Structure 1
Amino acid sequence: MDRLLLLDGHSLAYRAFYALPAENFSTSTGQNTNAVYGFTSMLINMLRDEQPTHIAVAFDKSRQTFRSEEYAEYKAGRSATPTEFSGQIPLVHEVLQALRIPFVESEGYEADDLIATLTTQAEAAGMDVLICSGDRDAFQLVSDKVSLLYPVRGVSEVWRMTPDKVEEKYGVRPERYSDLAALVGESSDNLPGVPGVGPKTAAKWLGQYGDLTGLVAHVDEIKGKAGDALREHLDGVLRNRRLNQLVRDVELGVDVEDLARTNWDREEVHRVFDGLEFRVLRDRLFEYLEPVEAESQGGFDLDTNVLRSEDVTGWLEHHAPKGSRVGVHVVGTWGRGTGDASAVAVATPDGVAGFIPLIDLDEEAEAALASWAGDPERHKVLHDAKGPMHALAARGIPLKGVSTDTALAAYLVRPDQRSYDLADLVLRHVGRDLKPEAAAQPQGMLDFAADDDAAADEAMVRARAVLDLADALSQQLDDTGGTALMADIELPLVDVLV
């Protein structure tokens, strides 16, 4: 079943602006980011939790709408929009463009009108619709096919409003909510209601007469002070109803079919999130929402070999001799200057890969591995080598001959990045996917068992990925003058840091 997620961009960003303290959300250059951070955080959560097939975000274009033309006092009580907020809306647009999420706006209309238009189209197309908005006017859109997520505490807590929930809270079904709001008024829109008439009285009238039209037809039957007040303010009630009723046929230039989720631009996400210094949000995005990139060339085709003790010496001599360069991935855990390794994967440029379980490795094989690992003439490429060096050292296996560290190479090529995740770098620079589970696991934290073929294959793929990544970064290192820095400063410093 197709599912359309519609978000009120202005409403959600505005809530985030006041919910998140500005002093805690700004870049090193002084750009405030609390509104765009809160909006992006909620967006990621919505994509993760709701799994929509279609999505769009609606924005107000300006305060001048057909409503303010009819009633000059419409929303007149609101203070001027802080420049610290309005300056973040283009940043929200940048985030959406990087994620390839369409957004819509239209002169003379509010975001909720655009949401109402798309909701009407989606219902006609048989879609389920989920709206996320902090504007109560959106309650009138709720139906058996349309639910509303209404933020009630900043951007972290929401109510999921269904027709029954709306009726439970306001005493009327969603299709009568605009009638009720016309009677009661809406202070945030500066639409005064009937004095002395609250939601319970308004709901009672609507229940008795069916809707606002029925109530108007029988207005002379309403007794007491409330009836007098209704008759006295009836023109204002009808005006409120005209203004709060959402428009469902705005010309947007897009249809719901155009809102299908598409692959997002990983490179652009890096650029935008780096500029906003959204490291944590980027990690969440990549963890929960691994994209399927159209430009990806797929996985790695390897001749894989899980080596027994008697195979280790011969395999290393044949496939990783002196003068060769291979990719290495160490399976294990490390931190705080220590660690332990459970396996080593080695991949060669000709497509052969070997996996050496260290558990139960006999003395001869362990000695051969230690001799190979400690030989500086057997060149090895690793990603973030410090941890693996600790893990191997804990087993008495020194690691020498590291000719390239791809994490350091990526840093030298693009020092403005906040993250140098292997899977992400391989997709960016090599155009190939590591398996999603590999992408979600930090290097060295795989849950490996010696008889687990999937874990062995994954480790060998990562070894080959490191080797290919080193080749891809080599020319860029030359172009940026990073080759000498790598050889003369960065790699020698790794040993010092270890």
Structure 2
Amino acid sequence: MAEKKQRLLLIDGNSIIYKAFFALPANRFTNDKGIHTNATYGFNRMLDTMLDIVKPTLALAAFDAGKITFRTKMYSDYKGGRKPTPDELIQQFPYVKRLLKARGIKSYQLNNYEADDIIGTLSKRAEKLGYETTIVTGDRDLTQLCSNLTTVSLSKTGVSSVEHFTTEHVIDKFGIKPSQIVDVKALRGDNSDNYPGVTLIGHKKAIKLIQKYGSMENVYQHLDDFSGKKMQQHLIEDKDKAYLAKKLATIDRQSPVTIKLSQVPYLGDQIDQLISFYKDVGFHSYLMQLNNSGKISSPKIKYTQLDSKHLKLIDHLNLDKPVTFYLAMPEPNYHLSPFAGFVIGQEDKWFVSKDIDLLNSNPIKHILESNQIFKNVFDAKRTYVGLNRLGIKLAHINFDMLLVSYLLNTNDNSNDLGKVAAKHGDFNIKSDEQVYGKGAKRSIPDDEILLKHLVSKAMAINNLQDQMFSQLKTNNQEKLYRQIELPVAFTLARMEIAGITVDTNVLNQMKNKYTERLSQVESDIYNQAGEKFNIGSPKQLGKILFEKLQLPVIKRTKTGYSTSVDVLEKLAGESKIVQNVLEYRKIAKILSTYIDGLLKVVHSTDHKVHTRYLQTLTQTGRLSSVDPNLQNIPVRTPEGKKIRKAFIPSHKGWEIFSFDYSQIELRVLAAISGDRNMQKEFAENDDIHASTARRIFNLKSNADVTPNLRRQAKAVNFGIVYGISAFGLSRNTGISRARAKSFIEKYFQEYPNVKKYMNGEVDKAHKLGYVETISHRRRYLPDIHSKNFHQRSFAERTAMNTPIQGSAADIIKIAMIKMERAIQNMSATMLLQIHDELIFEAPDSEIEELTKLVPKTMDSAVKLDVPLKVSVNYGKSWYDAK
């Protein structure tokens, strides 16, 4: 029997971990302990790639033992120009070594030597034994080790893309043999490793010399051949440098490596260790991969496929305990998505079916609508809307897995049940993308696959309930969940179902008008440019403006001239064509995004749009709106604002009402900071921006404040809320940075508790790793300890802002819940929430009552040390109500 072919994989540990660290953003990869994991994650991706390619029988990862090696003794500045290793990377080295062990790969380091020398020595030993060796590295220097038995796989862009260097590939790519790479480095030196070569000999010249003479030593033996005296002189003067450079560049292939090749078998994944590791570092996607590959033993999925003849089986459920229910709608827009099936049950009794009509049969409908039977679901709002389409009113929800997961960590905002379950330790559920596919290939799978998928989801909801509720209790977030997030989910569901009527005739009239206007502006631009071109192409526009018309270049991009809005606004006064381009963009945006966008999503059955509110997306607790985004209807331009004319009441004799919290974030700031001066101004109903201007500019009264001074003070007020810097304020207001700095300093003198509050929140974030709103909504800030100034500064600004913005979001949600209760016996209907504004429709007969009821209810949503103020407007359209 032939002896098994040995394949050795040697990993340049330091090189790959560095490559991974800088390839993946550190701030996006952290575990729940705040440890950065980007390099570890990227390292694992490289392992996946190389293990799949090489299929090794032997494997070892080599690491540098420290900065002091025999090379630093030869040349003290060796690698001296490199920046210090970031702390976020240093903390990951133990994780990477633990990962390697869990993946069945030994790690090794050798005092006084580099990883390169370990790899060079072991690859030479392997060659003598006839082993095939693959070296994976991010360092091009190791290509000197290529031979007929040794391949160097060089990491390119990212962390899993590699270029495989054989002897032939080195010759084709560089024009020299692998062994000659050190000769080239001897002549040109190495900036990365910080040692010089021969003066004025660069890479191309060094290559040519080695191609001609074969080696660095042979170059020196033929100095008389050089016609150029300068080159000859530099070679003579820098001879010692060249010989030293070659020594430094040459990998020591006889280093005293104590580990033997027989001691580095590739053991394969050590599943228990690997599962434990992935859980610790929060690699949920890798855990799901292990599960999907069958390497994690999944619990057996037992279920009964339900049909109309066996509905009585539902009676076996214990209705004194919560019942878990999941309704499958594969498409994101649950107002329109087809139904794929449902599952209902608890613990070890699961009933599943594709027959949606069964939901309207008893006892299932009774269970879903009962106010006495608790239900556990994933995404109560989605489930409520879906069941409403079937004529079923979902009630009495106990556990909404999506909402609870979101509250536990707002940074984790996936809405896929499989991914959410994985974050909480259940890795047995595939993602919907894995089951249904993606994009045009999305489809309902075979019955067995679908039904098992649905039951596995329901089991996860059931199994994770106690654990997640316990965490919620530990975080003091039960009240936030029970009294705000869960009730508002149903309020939002009913608002979505109600929808808002859109007059398509108004939109089509606007479309015709703006299309005509766009055509005219386009014609004017062509006339002013003297030719036709693609106005939407930054490249073509840049050539017209900055080459043909010779306008001053303000900013460049990697591909040419910047034609961004801020650039064009600075040039608008210099050329009519620039003004027209800005006008063209504005009208084109209104036409494509808003008018055409709205026309596409108006439901033909009721002439309404039914937006979806994303309750678990933002990290502050604010809502987002999609399909369509009604929070993004323009208000700052007259043209954009007119779109609101198309939003009208659903009945004749009705009106659209708008109720808007006035300066809610500043009022929250005044309340939670306890600043007496700011609280006094709100209590006395002063114009806060005029009062701020009076204080900053040392004026006698608010009457002395000019519109421009008020504008600057307003920018300071709202800037403070977002932790603005002098630079940011200067940019926003057009004043000098020095003046902006003095404004901010004066502001904190006048409102001292605001500064104290902000410093306190930053200190809390540094201590706890998170900040909270008035309702204990948490936002974790993993970058608060970052050594990177920009990342840390952003985290500190976020620490200041989140309690303010998040508390304002809490207040509007509480107001929505109270308002829905307050109008339950009226015809009025709450339609939209636009951040700090609520939109209703109601008959004219209820106007007077609403104008008293709504402000009273919203003003008292939360008791603060400053009064909340609500402005009231109404009219025949949303436009008229503003």
With normalisation by structure 1, the TM-score equals 0.72
- Is 1:495–2:490 an aligned residue pair? yes
Of 398, 404, 409, the match for 2:393: 398
Contact conserved, 1:381 with 1:402, CA < 8 A, in 2? yes
> What is the Cα deviation at residue 268 of structure 1?
5.6
1:101-159 CA-partner distances (Å, limit 9, x unpaired):
666554422332244345456665845424121x3321112234443344566869764
Contact conserved, 2:188 with 2:197, CA < 8 A, in 1? yes
**Distance in 2 between the 1:145 and 1:153 partners?**
26
Contact conserved, 2:180 with 2:210, CA < 8 A, in 1? no
Q: Secondary structure of 2:171's match? A: helix
> What is the Cα deviation at residue 477 of structure 1?
5.2
When structure 1 is superposed on structure 2, of 87-96 and 285-294 the one drifting more is 285-294
Of 146, 152, 155, the match for 1:148: 152
Q: 1:253 to 1:70 in 2, by over 3 A?
A: same
1:177-196 CA-partner distances (Å, limit 9, x unpaired):
32443345434431414876
- Per the alignment, residue 173 of structure 2 pairs with 169
Q: Identity, % of aligned pairs?
A: 22
**Distance in 2 between the 1:25 and 1:435 partners?**
24
**Distance in 2 between the 1:171 and 1:44 partners?**
33
Of 316, 322, 325, the match for 2:322: 325
- Is 1:375–2:370 an aligned residue pair? yes
Q: 1:56 to 1:342 in 2, by over 3 A?
A: same
**Distance in 1 between the 2:435 and 2:126 partners?**
38
Contact conserved, 1:113 with 1:250, CA < 8 A, in 2? no
- Is 1:457–2:452 an aligned residue pair? yes
Contact conserved, 1:8 with 1:57, CA < 8 A, in 2? yes
In structure 1, list runs of 5 or more residues that go unmatched: 274-281
- Is 1:81–2:79 an aligned residue pair? no
Q: Secondary structure of 1:108's match? A: coil
- Is 1:434–2:428 an aligned residue pair? yes
Q: Secondary structure of 1:333's match? A: coil
> What is the Cα deviation at residue 299 of structure 1?
1.9
Q: Secondary structure of 1:303's match? A: coil
Contact conserved, 2:288 with 2:428, CA < 8 A, in 1? no
- Is 1:389–2:387 an aligned residue pair? no
Of 237, 245, 248, the match for 1:240: 245
1:265-304 aligned within 5 A: 269=278, 272=281, 298-304=297-303
Letter in 2 for 1:241: K
1:45-84 CA-partner distances (Å, limit 9, x unpaired):
42454345677655545443211212345445x2x524xx
Q: 1:348 to 1:156 in 2, by over 3 A?
A: closer
Letter in 2 for 1:90: I
Q: Secondary structure of 1:347's match? A: strand
**Distance in 2 between the 1:399 and 1:162 partners?**
65
> What is the Cα deviation at residue 467 of structure 1?
1.1
**Distance in 2 between the 1:61 and 1:110 partners?**
7
> What is the Cα deviation at residue 468 of structure 1?
1.7
**Distance in 2 between the 1:332 and 1:94 partners?**
43
> What is the Cα deviation at residue 495 of structure 1?
1.9
1:344-359 aligned within 5 A: 344-349=342-347, 351-358=348-355
**Distance in 1 between the 2:473 and 2:158 partners?**
49
When structure 1 is superposed on structure 2, of 451-460 and 60-69 the one drifting more is 60-69
- Per the alignment, residue 71 of structure 2 pairs with 67
- Is 1:112–2:126 an aligned residue pair? no
**Distance in 2 between the 1:354 and 1:32 partners?**
42
Q: 1:75 to 1:50 in 2, by over 3 A?
A: closer
**Distance in 2 between the 1:8 and 1:97 partners?**
9
Letter in 1 for 2:308: S
When structure 1 is superposed on structure 2, of 419-428 and 394-403 the one drifting more is 419-428
Letter in 1 for 2:166: T
Letter in 2 for 1:348: Q
Letter in 1 for 2:395: K
**Distance in 1 between the 2:158 and 2:216 partners?**
33
Q: 1:478 to 1:64 in 2, by over 3 A?
A: closer
> What is the Cα deviation at residue 199 of structure 1?
0.7
Q: 1:183 to 1:474 in 2, by over 3 A?
A: closer
Q: Which has the higher contact order (CA 8 A, sep 6+)?
A: 1
1:261-291 CA-partner distances (Å, limit 9, x unpaired):
4446566656656xxxxxxxx5765676769
Q: 1:195 to 1:49 in 2, by over 3 A?
A: same
**Distance in 1 between the 2:429 and 2:394 partners?**
27
> What is the Cα deviation at residue 302 of structure 1?
3.8
**Distance in 2 between the 1:466 and 1:386 partners?**
16
Contact conserved, 2:368 with 2:395, CA < 8 A, in 1? yes
> What is the Cα deviation at residue 448 of structure 1?
6.3
Letter in 2 for 1:393: N
Q: 1:221 to 1:9 in 2, by over 3 A?
A: closer
Q: 1:119 to 1:422 in 2, by over 3 A?
A: farther
- Per the alignment, residue 418 of structure 1 pairs with 412
- Per the alignment, residue 219 of structure 1 pairs with 221
Q: 1:224 to 1:321 in 2, by over 3 A?
A: closer
- Per the alignment, residue 200 of structure 1 pairs with 208
Q: Secondary structure of 1:322's match? A: coil
**Distance in 1 between the 2:132 and 2:393 partners?**
60
Contact conserved, 1:74 with 1:191, CA < 8 A, in 2? no
Q: 1:186 to 1:394 in 2, by over 3 A?
A: same
Q: 1:437 to 1:473 in 2, by over 3 A?
A: closer
> What is the Cα deviation at residue 343 of structure 1?
0.7
**Distance in 2 between the 1:125 and 1:407 partners?**
56
**Distance in 2 between the 1:440 and 1:187 partners?**
47
Letter in 2 for 1:333: P
Q: Secondary structure of 1:64's match? A: coil
Q: 1:115 to 1:290 in 2, by over 3 A?
A: farther
Letter in 1 for 2:460: A
Q: Secondary structure of 2:91's match? A: helix
- Per the alignment, residue 632 of structure 2 pairs with none
> What is the Cα deviation at residue 344 of structure 1?
0.4
**Distance in 2 between the 1:26 and 1:345 partners?**
35
**Distance in 2 between the 1:98 and 1:436 partners?**
27
- Per the alignment, residue 305 of structure 1 pairs with 304
Letter in 1 for 2:375: K
Look at both structures and tell me which one has the larger radius of gyration over its CA atoms.
Answer: 2
Letter in 2 for 1:163: T
- Per the alignment, residue 340 of structure 2 pairs with 342
- Is 1:160–2:167 an aligned residue pair? no
Q: 1:299 to 1:155 in 2, by over 3 A?
A: closer
1:283-320 CA-partner distances (Å, limit 9, x unpaired):
765676769898x5x22234322222332x3122x233
**Distance in 1 between the 2:365 and 2:134 partners?**
60
**Distance in 2 between the 1:292 and 1:125 partners?**
34
In structure 2, list runs of 5 or more residues that go unmatched: 1-5, 494-882
Q: Secondary structure of 1:399's match? A: coil
Q: 1:452 to 1:181 in 2, by over 3 A?
A: same
> What is the Cα deviation at residue 357 of structure 1?
1.2
> What is the Cα deviation at residue 481 of structure 1?
5.3
Q: 1:152 to 1:476 in 2, by over 3 A?
A: closer
The number of residues matched between the two structures is: 462
- Per the alignment, residue 470 of structure 1 pairs with 465
Contact conserved, 2:21 with 2:42, CA < 8 A, in 1? no
**Distance in 2 between the 1:320 and 1:459 partners?**
18
